[in-house]
Amino acid sequence: MNRSPMEILPDTAEGHARAAQLLRGGGLVAFPTETVYGLGADACNDRAVARIFDAKGRPSFNPLIAHFAERDAVKRHVIWSDEAEALANAYWPGPLTMVLRKRADSPISKLVTAGLDTLAVRVPAHPTAKAVLAGFGGPVAAPSANRSGQISPTRASHVTSGLGDRVDAVINAGVCAVGIESTIIGLVEHPILLRPGGVTKDQLMQTLGAAIAVRKNAEAISAPGQLGSHYAPNAAVRLNATEWRAGELRLGFGDVACDLNLSEDEDLVEAAAHLFDHLHRLDARGGTVIAVSPIPHHGLGVAINDRLTRAAAPRD
């Protein structure tokens, strides 16, 4: 099948308008959020959403997140709640996704929800994402703009090298600030952390004033980002490396000699921002194993360790 070359759009009003035009025509457009680059399509267009699954090689049972320009638009598609209102007040726009019951009259494609009666929704904070979503004027389904299971993209160059002409356009807007995907919280029955991310569990509990359950890996997939093997480079990943072995590519944390360092100052925010980019850069060197220093398992470290554990999981 012959495809047109991917358009590289500038991060300007003209580039944002072209992205919205392509989305209205059923196209696929990669754009930055504060977390990672997303691969967007009109969430109400079955054919456009199906192109996301095809471009990524993504299993159809894995639901997508619907992105919106503002909160009131979200409320037209889901059953809103007091808990959702409290979390939206605290973290939207921002790196938090909420899973709520989908309204029966919502026109969002069942491919987005993978046939579930729930919908994952988010209002991103990145100015480019906000401009594209506002220009498009509707919900945009947007998983990370990479082949399924591989390292998530935090630069436009990661998208072009990973997806190429499977995508109609990418907006080149620099590096994503947070660097790991959004936190996902389920609010259908009781609050449950479905995926750790840029907003920590402790922050969510403080906002809600209540305990939050945590999804067990054995439970059925109910939100994006729950596959066992995910975010994986071509090289194998060895975790909690306190010493290096011959021939390994070394991803450090703290005061260690290594090939690339997530944060010499042991700053978890800096480490999260560097995680996927450093994995991309080490993987491009063509080694067989990437060894990673231990990462503290608190705060943002929980999300970093979640991504690293999935990157190191056995591949199908």
pLDDT tens, position by position, 88-107: 999 999 999 999 999 999 99
Q: What is the 3-state secondary structure (H, E, C) of 125-181?
A: CCHHHHHHHHHHCCCEECCECCCCCECCCCCHHHHHHHHHHHCCEEEECCCCCCCCC
What is the reported pLDDT for 224? 59
DSSP state of 98: E
What is the reported pLDDT for 1? 43
What is the reported pLDDT for 32? 97
pTM: 0.84
- Where in the chain do CATH 3.40.50.11030 domains reside? 236-312
Q: Omega of the bond prior to 93 within 30 degrees of 0, cis?
A: yes
Options 3.40.50.150, 3.40.50.170, 3.40.50.11030, 3.90.580.10; CATH of 236-312: 3.40.50.11030
CATH 3.30.830.10, domain 7-214, yes or no: no
- Where in the chain do CATH 3.90.870.10 domains reside? 7-214
Strand order from edge to edge, sheet including 169-172:
7-10, 169-172, 29-32, 37-42, 140-141, 65-67, 118-122, 96-101, 183-186, 192-195, 213-214
Counting as low any pLDDT under 50, the low residues of the chain are: 1, 221, 226
pLDDT tens, position by position, 34-62: 999 999 999 999 999 999 999 998 777 78
Please state, in angstroms and rounded to a whole number, the distance separating the CA atoms of residues 253 and 240.
10
